[in-house]
A = this chain, B = another copy of it.
Amino acid sequence: MKYAVIGTGAIGGYYGGRLAHSGQEVHFLAHSDYEEMRSQGLQVDSCLGSFIIENPRAYRSTSEMPVVDVVFVALKTVNNHLLPEMLKPIVGPDTIVVLIQNGIGVEEDLQAQMPGLQIATGLGFICSTKIGPAHISHQDYGALTLANYSVKDDNRVGQVATDLEQAGVATDILPYDFARWRKAIWNLPFNGLTVALNTDTLSLVNSEEGYALLKNIMMEVIALANAAGVESLNVEHALSNLEATRSMLPYAPSMKVDWDHHRPMEIYYLYTKALQKADALGVKAPYLEMLEKQLRYLERHRR
């Protein structure tokens, strides 16, 4: 299969790099570091074994890229309005587009813009950072959960999983709604609160008030997931997320990293969209609502 990676950053560079390293044909869309990709290759320093992709297939625009079988979209969702235009040149009738992105509702929005598109979801459980041009540092974890959103043949998603496994990436395949909401249980509280309180995951979870804030937001996410039809998520998922975070190193979630680097935050798909669903389902989520307003205030009044 031919792969394309849209967004060769910490996530796209790692998973795409792994696939290329295992011998797959991978076409990388690069932006600011196109020159370094061409001259130095794509360097991945990884806790699971480092490697360099020499002479990667790098491009400045998707209009120069071929139609592929699988696209990994690893852009920040703040750029998702650009996706239809970017995807058109590389997507054929059988192409699968795997959205490796944060939040709730990214698939439905893209689907509305591109009705025939076959979409899958990739949820990375990974600590990875881009530390320089064409240079990724992968520190911990690395699994990718896949879920089928609108791919006609489930086996096609299975094939992507097989390719990833052969490239050294642990995968599993889960039902779409379950996978998205389960990840949201961790993502929504930790991303926003680390920004609002200028802290890290470990300080939060180890403080009495931080723990209470996290747990309250997790329970709101779970109530929302339940109302959205994912009935198997419950308080145990909140408690196990909290416990697991206690045993992680202090960590800055992606929104905190974006905030610290003065980049736009993914407020829309991490909060606004979830709150729109809460509204439509008649579920109250006041902590999420307040957190979203605080984040929007902070972003607008950044000093």
A56 to B203, alpha carbons, bound, how many Å?
A: 49
How many copies of this protein are present in the complex? 2
A197 to B196: give the CA distance in the assembly, Å.
Answer: 8
Given contacts A197-B294, A207-B301, A209-B293, 15 further A-B contacts (CB under 8 A): A197-B298, A197-B301, A198-B303, A199-B297, A199-B301, A203-B301, A204-B297, A207-B300, A209-B294, A209-B296, A210-B293, A212-B293, A213-B290, A216-B290, A290-B291
Beta-carbon contacts under 8 Å, A175-227 to B: 196-199, 203-204, 207-210, 212-213, 216
Task: Tell me which residues across on chain B come within 8 A of A210, comparing CB atoms.
Answer: 293, 297
Residues of chain A touching chain B, judged by Cβ–Cβ distance below 8 Å, are 196-199, 203-204, 207-210, 212-213, 216, 286-287, 290-291, 293-294, 296-298, 300-301, 303
Residues of B within 8 A of A213 (CB): 290, 293-294, 297
Complex A-B: 15 CB contacts under 8 Å: A196-B196, A196-B294, A197-B297, A197-B301, A198-B303, A199-B301, A203-B301, A204-B297, A207-B301, A209-B294, A209-B297, A209-B300, A286-B287, A286-B290, A290-B291
Bound CA span A198–B300, Å: 13
Chain B min CB distance to A102 (Å): 21
**How far does the alpha carbon of A286 sit from the alpha carbon of B300 in the complex, in Å?**
24
Chain B residue nearest in CB terms to A214: B293
Contacts of A300 in B (CB 8 A): 207, 209
Closest to A199 in B: B301
A168 shortest CB reach to chain B, Å: 39
A217 to chain B, nearest CB (A): 9
CB distance from A189 to the nearest CB of B (A): 11
A298 to chain B, nearest CB (A): 6
Which of B207, B287, B291 contacts A297, CB < 8 Å?
B207
* B residues in contact with A198, CB < 8 Å: 303
Minimum CB–CB distance for A211 against chain B, Å? 10
What residues of B have a CB within 8 angstroms of the CB of A209 in the complex? 293-294, 296-297, 300
